[in-house]
Structure 1
Amino acid sequence: MVIFLKLLLAHLIGDFLLQTGRAVKSKEQKKIRSFYLYIHCIIHTALTMLIVWNIHFWPYALCIGCSHFIIDITKLYLQKEKGKVAIFLIDQACHLLVLFIVAFSYARSEVDFAFLLSDKYLLLYTCILLLTSPSSIFIKIAISNWSPQNLEENQKNGSLQNAGRWIGNLERLLIFVFIVVGRFEAIGFLLAAKSIFRFGDLKQGEDRRLTEYVLIGTLLSFGIAILTGLFYINIL
């Protein structure tokens, strides 16, 4: 009961006392592009930590902040002038439900999340981070000398924005997971699946340089993921 009252106090302060009319107007006009929306959720998270005053509560506070963002952004896109009162009441009810669930879960478990900052998990976070943007940037630089002249044209014609980057990130993370759980054979299936979809299009395009460029990038991406996975399982 005490923890729920603390969470409710933080919610009331953050949602009503510390939210200006200018911020509300900005959120209604710009919605997800509003700077105030993100500041509002950060304030809620910080207030929760401040009022609860327990360093081990941070995962719950983060959960409250993220849920607040999801609920608020949903409200902003659903609300209309005629139904503002109903949307407001539903919005507040959802916030209170989240606070109740968090308070109930915390009171029952009071799990110490300090293990999430152990050496094992810090290494895991580092490997996951390494396999995303840093690897993408490294691969892009490493094969930049062989970049085909018509690469930009191929990206503009029917290609999703940043699709290659996201595909690369996902494939490296999947390979990492396969290695950690000991499913090395799945890497072969992943490579085969990508080859079927990717190189079929390249063959039709009849551009050898582009085919070789993609092949080098793919093998380099797979190599980085495999080495990172092997490093992780052997250093533990």
Structure 2
Amino acid sequence: MAEWQTLLLWLVIGHVIADFYLQPMSWVHDRNNRHFKSTKVIWHSLIHGLLGFAALVAWQENYDFGISAAAFGYASFITITHYFIDIGKSYSSKGVVPFLLDQLAHLFVILLITVNLSGPQNLSEQLLSFFSTPDNLVIGLGYLLVLTPASVMIRMLLERWAYMGNEEESLPQAGNLIGQLERVLLLTCILIDSWAAVGFVLAAKSVFRFGDLTASKDRKLTEYVMLGTLVSILVTLSVAGLIKTVI
């Protein structure tokens, strides 16, 4: 493992521990309610800085760089940026989008420190090598195909048998999302040659669907669901077979 990968992983592990294991919900509520007046967000940011400092010192010692004052400076940078990012998030609405933006901002800071310490040329060369490898590109294309393109194709294939059920009883776009997640899981299991897991995914979906189909006593719904599931599986198997053939 390269030096920059070790540093990046240690910093990310420290972030996850501080953000999700060492931050009580009472601190989160205090930050969201009091914003700049919250003292809990200060303690939370200091914990991030402390774990970041520990990761930096451990990394320097592991590669015999010697402990330098730079570790304290970068740890202070983590503390300050985390404080202001979290304060900014406290003014946003609740939901998955603000949460993801908050986490991406923190990860960007970590990546910035990693690049600055390990050298941007070294990092960029390895990233370019990873994303330019034909096998990785083929696998990435496969995942892209089993998501939205597969959904569009399945919808077009089943259009002539479109089932007009009671949409008020289901979540909006839930069926489409379930199908995409199912295909991603199946493709992953096939690529790692875990056929037992493939059977588990299909069995789990069948068990959950069986109750709905039995309760509805609607033959058209049953046939429509079976068609959709079988086409979805066929598409995923086809994509997986092409990927394995190429790589």
Sort the TM-score into its range (normalised by shorter chain): 0.5 to 0.7
Query: What is residue 117 of structure 2 aligned with on the other side?
Result: 104
1:145 aligns with 2:157: no
Give, in whole Å, the separation in 1 of the partners of 2:163 and 2:83: 45
Query: What is residue 198 of structure 1 aligned with on the other side?
Result: 209
Q: Secondary structure at the match of 2:193?
A: coil
1:188 aligns with 2:199: yes
For normalisation by structure 1, the TM-score amounts to 0.56
Equivalent of 1:121 in 136, 145, 152: 136
Change in CA separation of 1:96 and 1:222 when aligned onto 2, cut-off 3 Å: closer
Q: Secondary structure at the match of 2:194?
A: coil
Q: Secondary structure at the match of 1:200?
A: helix
Query: What is residue 38 of structure 2 aligned with on the other side?
Result: none
Tell me by how many angstroms 1:142 deviates. Answer: 0.4
Tell me by how many angstroms 1:118 deviates. Answer: 2.4
Give, in whole Å, the separation in 1 of the partners of 2:109 and 2:188: 37
State which drifts further: 99-108 or 138-147: 99-108
Change in CA separation of 1:96 and 1:217 when aligned onto 2, cut-off 3 Å: closer
For normalisation by structure 2, the TM-score amounts to 0.54
1:171 partner amino acid: E
Give, in whole Å, the separation in 1 of the partners of 2:237 and 2:126: 33
Change in CA separation of 1:96 and 1:146 when aligned onto 2, cut-off 3 Å: closer
Query: What is residue 78 of structure 1 aligned with on the other side?
Result: 90
Using the aligned pairs only, state the percent identity: 32
What is the RMSD computed on CA atoms of the aligned residues? 2.9
Tell me by how many angstroms 1:77 deviates. Answer: 3.7
Tell me by how many angstroms 1:130 deviates. Answer: 0.4
Deviations 1:7-34 (A, max 9, x none): xxxxxxxxxxxxxxxxxxxxxxxxxxxx
1:212 aligns with 2:231: no
Instruction: Give the paired residue count.
Output: 151
Structure 1: tracts of 5 or more residues without a match: 1-69, 81-92
- Assess if the C-alpha contact under 8 Å between 1:178 and 1:187 holds in 2: yes
Tell me by how many angstroms 1:212 deviates. Answer: 0.6
- Assess if the C-alpha contact under 8 Å between 1:146 and 1:213 holds in 2: yes
Change in CA separation of 1:97 and 1:191 when aligned onto 2, cut-off 3 Å: closer
1:229 aligns with 2:240: yes
Give, in whole Å, the separation in 1 of the partners of 2:196 and 2:136: 25
- Assess if the C-alpha contact under 8 Å between 1:199 and 1:211 holds in 2: no
Change in CA separation of 1:198 and 1:114 when aligned onto 2, cut-off 3 Å: same
Change in CA separation of 1:72 and 1:203 when aligned onto 2, cut-off 3 Å: farther
